[in-house]
Chains A and B, each alone.
Chain A
Amino acid sequence: MSTDTQSAPQLSAPQPGPVRVERRLPRFAPLGLFVLGIVLGAALSAATGFSVTSTVVYGVVLGTLLVYVGTRAVEGRRKATDRLVTCLVTTAFGIAMIPLISLVYTVLDKGLARFDGDFFGMSMFRIVGEGGGAYHAILGTLIITLVATIISVPIGLFTAIYLVEYGTGRLKKAITFFVDVMTGIPSIVAGLFAFALFTLLFGNDFRAGIMGAVALSVLMIPVVVRSCEEVLKLVPNELREASYALGVPKWRTVVKVVLPTAIAGLGTGITLSVARVVGETAPLLITVGLITGTNLNPFDGRMATLPVFAFYQLTQPGTATQAFLDRAWTAALVLIIFVMALNILARLISRFFAPKTGR
Chain B
Amino acid sequence: MAKRIEVSDLNIYYGNFLAVEGVNVSIEPRSITALIGPSGCGKSTFLRSLNRMHEVLPGARVEGKVVMDGQDLYGSDVDPVDVRRQIGMVFQRPNPFPTMSIYDNVIAGNRLNSKRMKKSETDELVERSLRGANLWNEVKDRLDRPGSGLSGGQQQRLCIARAIAVEPDVLLMDEPCSALDPISTLAIEDLMAELKERFTIVIVTHNMQQAARVSEQTGFFNLNGVGQPGRLIEFNPTEKIFSNPDQKATEDYISGRFG
Interface of A toward B, CB cutoff 8 Å: 168, 236, 238-249, 252-253, 256-257, 260-261, 263, 355-359
Residues of A within 8 A of B111 (CB): 256
Do the beta carbons of B97 and A261 come within 8 Å of each other? yes
Known: A239-B97, A241-B53. A247 touches B58 (CB 8 A): no
Residues on B with C-beta less than 8 A from A242 are 91, 95-97, 159, 162
Task: Contacts A245-B89, A247-B81, A247-B166 given; indicate if A355 touches B148 (C-beta within 8 A).
Answer: yes
Residue from the list A257, A263, A355, A359 in contact with B112, Cβ < 8 A: A257
The 8 closest A-B pairs by CB, nearest first: A358-B149, A247-B85, A358-B146, A355-B98, A245-B89, A246-B109, A238-B95, A247-B84
Instruction: Report yes or no: B84 in contact with A241, Cβ–Cβ below 8 A.
Output: no
Task: Report the Cα distance A242→B84, complex, angstroms.
Answer: 11
Residue among A236, A246, A252, A263 with the highest chain B CB neighbour number at 10 A? A246
User: B82 touching A247 by the CB < 8 A rule?
Assistant: yes
Whether, in the assembled complex, B163 has its beta carbon less than 8 Å from a beta carbon of chain A, the answer is yes
B112 in contact with A252 (CB, 8 Å): yes
* Contact, CB under 8 Å: B146 / A356: yes
Tell me the complex Cα distance, A260–B145, Å.
Answer: 17
Say whether B99 contacts A248, CB under 8 Å: no
In the docked arrangement, what's the CA distance between A341 and B99, Å? 27
Using an 8 Å CB-CB cutoff, how does the interface string of B90-134 with A read, 1 for contact, 0 for none?
010101111100000000110111100000000000000000000
Task: Write the nearest CB–CB distance from B124 to chain A, whole angstroms.
Answer: 19
Do the beta carbons of B113 and A359 come within 8 Å of each other?
no
B88 at the interface (CB under 8 A from A): yes
- Establish whether residues B84 and A245, one from each chain, have CB atoms under 8 Å apart when the complex forms: yes
Contact A247 B98 (CB under 8 A): no
- Are B95 and A246 neighbours in the complex by a CB distance under 8 Å? no
Question: For B149, what are the chain A residues with a Cβ–Cβ distance below 8 Å?
Answer: 357-359
Say yes or no: A245 contacts B112, CB within 8 Å. Answer: no
Total chain B interface residues with beta-carbon distance under 8 A: 33
Which residues of chain B come closer than 8 Å to A238, judged between CB atoms? 91, 93, 95
Q: Tell me the nearest residue of chain A to B51, going by C-beta.
A: A245
Residues of B within 8 A of A243 (CB): 97, 108, 112
Interface 0/1 of B158-189, CB less than 8 Å to A: 01001100100000000000000000000000
Q: A246 contacts which of B99, B145, B148, B162 (Cβ < 8 Å)?
A: B162
Residue of B nearest to A243 (CB): B112
Chain B, residue nearest A248 (CB): B112
Q: Are B99 and A355 neighbours in the complex by a CB distance under 8 Å?
A: yes
B56 within 8 A of A: yes
List 29 A-B residue pairs with CB atoms under 8 Å apart, sorted by A's residue number: A236-B95, A239-B95, A239-B97, A239-B98, A240-B56, A241-B56, A241-B89, A245-B51, A245-B88, A246-B84, A246-B85, A246-B112, A247-B81, A247-B82, A247-B84, A247-B86, A247-B109, A247-B113, A247-B166, A248-B81, A248-B113, A249-B113, A252-B112, A261-B97, A355-B99, A357-B148, A358-B145, A358-B146, A358-B148
Contact bitstring B20-59, A, C-beta under 8 A = 1, else 0: 0000000000000000000000000000000101001010
Q: Which residue of B lies closest to A235 (CB)?
A: B98
- Chain A residues in 8 Å Cβ range of B51: 245
Whole-angstrom distance between the alpha carbons of A261 and B146 in the complex?
13
Q: Which residues of A contact B56 (CB under 8 A)?
A: 240-241, 244
Counting chain B CB atoms within 10 Å of each CB, which of A168, A241, A242, A257 scores highest?
A242
Cα A358 to Cα B99 in complex, Å, equals 11
Known: A246-B108, A246-B163. A241 touches B82 (CB 8 A): no
1/0 per residue, CB under 8 A from A, across B129-164: the answer is 000000000000000011111000000000100110
Smallest Cβ-Cβ distance to A249: which chain B residue? B81
Q: Are B98 and A252 in contact (CB under 8 A)?
A: no
Inter-chain contacts of A248 with B (CB < 8 A): 81, 109, 112-113
Assess A246 versus B93: contact at CB under 8 Å? Given A241-B53, A241-B56, A256-B112: no
Please tell me if the beta carbons of B58 and A168 are within 8 angstroms of each other in the complex.
yes
Q: Which residue of A lies closest to B89 (CB)?
A: A245
